Structure 1
Amino acid sequence: MKLFNGKKLIARIDLLLADPRLEPEALLRKRWTWLYMIVNFIGLTCMTSLGFVWEIWPILWFGYALMITQIVAIPLFRITKRFDLVLNISYGIIVILAFAVMLQIGGLTTSMGFVFIGMNCAMGSVLAGNIRWTIGMFGLYCSTIILLGILQPYLVTPDYITPEVNSFYFVTDAVWVNACILFLVILFMKDKSRYEKSEAEKLRKIDEAKTQLYTNVSHEFRTPLTIISGIADQMEQHKEKWLQNGPYKIKAQSQILLRLVNQMLDISKIEAGSMHLNLIHGDIKKFARYVVGTFNSLAECRHIDLRININNESLYADYDPEKLMHVFGNLISNSIKFTSRGGKIDVSVFGNNRRGQDMLCISVRDSGKGIPKESISYIFDRFYQVPDEYDQIQGTGLGLALTKELVKLMKGEITVKSTVGVGTEFIITLPVTKEARKKNDHGVSMIHSDTINSIVPIHKRDGEQKTNSHISIEKPILLIVEDNKDVVEYLITILKDYYILEVAFNGKIGLEKALKIIPDIILTDVMMPQMDGFEMVRNLKNDIRTDHIPVIILTAKGDFHSKLSGLEIGADHYLIKPFSEKELLLKLSNLLKARHKMQKRLGSLKMLSHHGNMHYKDEMLFISKINTLLEEKMENEDFGIKDICSHLNMSRPQLYRKFSALTDNSIGKYIRTYRLHRAKSMIESQSKNVTEAAIDSGFKNLSHFSTSFREEFGYSPSELL
């Protein structure tokens, strides 16, 4: 067990000296100087004790005076903001008192090492970081030394200052002062190392944030580009079919790209200090009604009740219409994004007075999913996203960061209150000024159409995605797991002629559908609500019912780590958006061809019974479990598909689909064939006669056994004898 823990001690000292008024660097200096003062106080106390033992009275009164000074200075030092002033005044007193003692004990020649005390104080003043006070302290110390040199011929050494006492104190003071300086150097080096590690950690986090930004921006760009590129190809190939919906979809996706680019440019302008306010004087309530009204259609499409709680009393103030449109737009669109069907959003604008200053308050409150408590303090940080457990609708993390920067630019504040499962409220407070020029239309005409288009998404009323209620066996079944409805529509367009399509809009539903229908192949995105693509694939590959299904991950996350993660969990291919239609079709076709190749190799009983085949290890594990059950229950004629389903925890359709996918054969036919081959083996080895072989292989009806045997092998069982 450690008797001394330096980190805990430093943490306690930092807690003791904590002062919110000071910057981190100043707090670090405060810790250094406080520790230096404590070490000096201990040394002076020891010196005073020795003076008492040897009855050296100048040292006694010096020690008492210094202890009183330090007893006052140390607590005062802890609570005051100007700790450097307290330190230098107390050290100045020590230098003057040391000078007075040396005058009494005979000057420099018999200084007993007191010459080092002033030097120690001058060194200590460096810690406070005030260069003027440090120069002054060195000047004071040097002045006392020069004055002692001038007065030296006139000073008399008292009898009690013997050469032995002088030497002892001189050596003791020299060692003590050097120990203090060493302590100072070690303290500085440790803190310097800790500071460098802290800076390195900050740089690492900045790098992580940049990497996350690039990943998120890439994702945000790739998905719209996939839709734009794909629909453009479809319009070229099928002009009549896409003439009506194609341009609308391309325009909607281009506005998503425009919004992202504008956010990045706006943040860049704010950082560079090149974004300025264009203030007008108008009725902000009328302006707010106009802005909120632009979102009414979007809210109706999402079946969300968007309310404007603004009374008819005018509220005139100075504001920038474009900037305020961005603020309103980001908050309202976020609320719509995270509020479920049937939810409510309330927008309020009202005046307030705070400490004699007229203030404008804007509130956007929703009944959405809410923000977890631990994330609230970070949501305005650039690139920050609420963890996937709560926020599965990913973005770049720029919207709220830009909102906060714009509010700060308007000299306002933004706060948030939220409860998970209840809702979120954003409150903006802006100072009311009345100096700008009046605008009769309250700034509505100053909002460019590009701004509105980039903030308010183009939308159509949601339609339910049609899926197949009846599964056909003529085409392979392909399950699409993708949360973007435009991407789903595009994929359906290019795949519907080749596959029976099933659709799921998140990983959780995708997993449930895959377990229910056992598709022939799965095409999935990564970043999705409730369960991401990686987790869904991991669950599928760890389940005996679905571990054979080929999976293509289709995503905008194109970084090497994401690719590696996808392949490690069992994905067969990783296709990056935007993708080529031909490439997608080719990859799907190749995976199905590989499956047919596997079916051909596993299609014979000889291959299925060969447990040592390692090329299809996972597939053979499933077959091996069925074979083991058949061997154990061989004599039981009633043992069949129902019992196998029960043992493997699978439904009858799941077993049929799984077994057919592996062998291109039916499970019922396989059971009969397996029994017949076991009976044939018994007869050929002459270990059983025909009747015994039939009974031991599960055929109680000898006539049925003979008929089945002839159908399977082309001759009767008796011909083997």
Structure 2
Amino acid sequence: MIPAMKKLKEFLKVLVLCSILFEVYAQEVTLDSTVKFPLNISTSIETFQDASGSVSLEEVLKKSFSKPNKDHFVFPYSDNIYWVRVSLKNNTFHVKEFYLLWSNPLVEQLDFYISDRADMKDFKHVEQKIITKERDKKFIDQDPRFIFKIEPNQTRYIYFKLTSKRGHYGELRLHTRESFQKFRMDDFASQGFLNGLMFFRLFLVLVLSFFIIKDLSFRLYSLYTLLRTFNYWGYLNIAGPLFTDQPDMAKKIDFLCYNSATLGAGIFLIATFTVQKLPKVHLYLVGLFLLFTVFFSSVIFFDYQWYWLKGGVYTLVFSAGYYILLYIFLTVKNVAFARYYSILFTFGLLSSFLLNVRLLGWIELKPIYTLSYYFFLAEFVFFVIFLGRIFRNTERNKTLTERQLKFNIEQNNKLKELDNLKTTFFTNISHEIRTPLTLITGPFQQLAEKYPSDKLIPLIQRNTDRLLTLVNQILDISKLEAGQMKPEIANHNITEYLRTLTSSFISLAESRKIDFERSFSSTETYGFIDRDKVDKIVTNLLSNAFKFTPQGGKVSFEKYFDASKKRMTIVISDTGIGIESEKLSKIYDRFYQADDAQNRSFEGTGIGLALVKELVEVLKGKITVESQKDEGTTFSVELPIDRLTWKDFIGPINENSYQNTVSKQQVQTPTENFDSENDQILLIVDDNEDIRNYVRSIFEIDYKIVEARNGKDGVEKAIEQVPDIIISDLMMPEMDGLEFCKVLKADARTSHIPIVMLTAKANVESRIEGYELGADDYVIKPFNKNELQARVKNLLDVRAKLRQKYESKEQQESAEPDAKVNEVDGRFIQKVIEIIDEHLSDSQFGIDQLADEMLLSTTQLRRKIKVLTNQTIVEFIRNHRLHKAAQLLSQNTGTISEIAYQVGFDSLSYFSKVFQESYGVSPSDYRVSNLK
């Protein structure tokens, strides 16, 4: 009984195995010469889903497989392991070697089992993870492939074990060697072409965005193109292996790349604000999609699970669908720039959308891939059209920009011309006003000295000063508008300066019966300031304080110094009428009057505070004001006084007052008799006759006066008369003072003459320009008579000292111009000496011949030599002959008589006499003393 039972069990096992084998391999793939390769054997496969993920091959043989009966297979996202089996029989087919191709490059791990027995005894196992090192080409995708042989009339049994958390769509294709090589060549050509397009597009947009097209939208599209390129490589398992040979890291990089398909489109929408032309809900949706995309792309690197993978694909599909609809809407509506960008994005997104929809198993139609491919190519076609549009728009914008730039330049030039005209106008007006002021203040000072007790004198003085202050303010405003007012910084004892400046208001406070308090935080504070501008700021603020403070009120001045910040703060307060709060913002407007007419102590112009504010800004400071109606006003001015702030403005010139100098100067002693060479000639050049007469009245006792009506007339008079000094106005018709100075200093006949400029242009730039052209000094209108006399005397004293150069025998020997003598005068003297040397032995050579050689009149030559050397021409020629004789005697080059004749002396006795007078010894003794 027992043996019979054992036999029955064995029979049943065989029966079950046979039924399984019959079920499994009922439709094996038969290969013969009629089969065309490659052969899609997906319809002949059967699959089994291992939910536990732990079933072995031996156990799988006992499992029930299902037959999909499709020409493709789809495996969803999960932790399951999928088994695929198929049997192949070679029906006397001469081909023995075959290639089995799994048409999906994103396989995470694929195990290949093959055996010639149905029970899979003696099977061959090949494991293949995501392909990295075994690639044929870096930028060509590679589907997993397995090479095996089937002998004629032999059947091979094949199992595939798919381990992947990703969803899969693929086919199983069988190739011969020839068909596989042809397939790979076609695949290389196709993908090589696409990669070429990808590289070309990427290179082109990056170069254009970096160097040619500066448009933000195009640069964002360049970012999208970069993401789109790696998105394409991620789908083909190209991106991951580019960065690593580790399969686990490669599959994460691939996911990051293909999951970013819609990232660039979303960024483009938000960054270019196209979506803001729609309801805000779209902006929120775009932001949400971007957030989910970044989240899933990040979390995969830390927790690689199928649900994160599937979540990323869902985000990609829904965002792509939303962007497609939105871009189509923008294209139809032709919103701003969106049309051409929208077409490109739409085709690119459609390609990604269809691939992922098929991967999710929503649509399994085989043409989906082909349609996606065509959309992908359409993106490139419209990219070319898009570029043409971009270039056309760029050229148009460039033309418009050039036109706008040209227009702006023309407008700027016109504005500059207008500013220059305004500045010139105000300067001319200021000059014209200063001229009568000069004619008033000059004689008035003489009257004040003559009638010191007259009570009208102070009244005239105050109003003259007031008028001068207004003129200066108008000129300052014009310079500020033209941007011509620059800081003139120097180091000063600020406390001492401010104490002196504010002390001038003490008498005003006493006369108005106003309590004036001054407070200084330290006895000495040194710092870098512009005294002129600080003077105007403080004077204006104090004047306003006294103007609006009634009798019995109080005005205070306080100065603080912040050592840590290197800043000075000036606070000026009063208990006057105050300013209403609604008017405080307008007090710095020009010509604005904050006070009512009945409350004014005296009329104002409304430009004082405007000037103060702009001066504070020029000095890089800050001004604030606090005020209450009928209680008073407080102004605070904060100014930097450190060297670092003003390092670019600190120059060698320190503008000092001439008051102390003028008081110490002694006026030139009058002379009574004039002769042709010894007369002191003063040339006055001014287009205003009153100015010429006033200057003449100052100097006519001491100088012979010559007048000229303008610069052109002045040049003629200067060349004819060769004056000792010239006083010239700066602004004149036909030829102004600067051009007049330039002409004279360039002419050898007049280059030595010192020139004093009278000008209303008190700024440093004008003085520097004048000094560069050769002006020797500046006097600002209205001028002080004593100051002008002192300036003239100083220049003539300096010129007298320079004459000693040519009286010195040693300097005559060197014949090199002194550093203080200008180059033109140095060349003039050198030329005179050279001409005398050429005629040294000619005893008849004299002034007439020398004047002819120098192309000058005898008068011009006499005055020029006299001014430069303090000698007559006869004395100059004789002294030079004696100097040459002394040189020859020292060298013992001949007898005394020979040397006398050689240097132009016909009489030996006369030569000995004048040599004795000049050198103190006779020629023979001079020779003996120099030969020892």
TM-score between both structures, scaled by the size of structure 2:
0.35
Relative contact order higher in (CA < 8 Å, ≥ 6 apart): 1
TM-score between both structures, scaled by the size of structure 1:
0.44
Bigger share in helix: 1
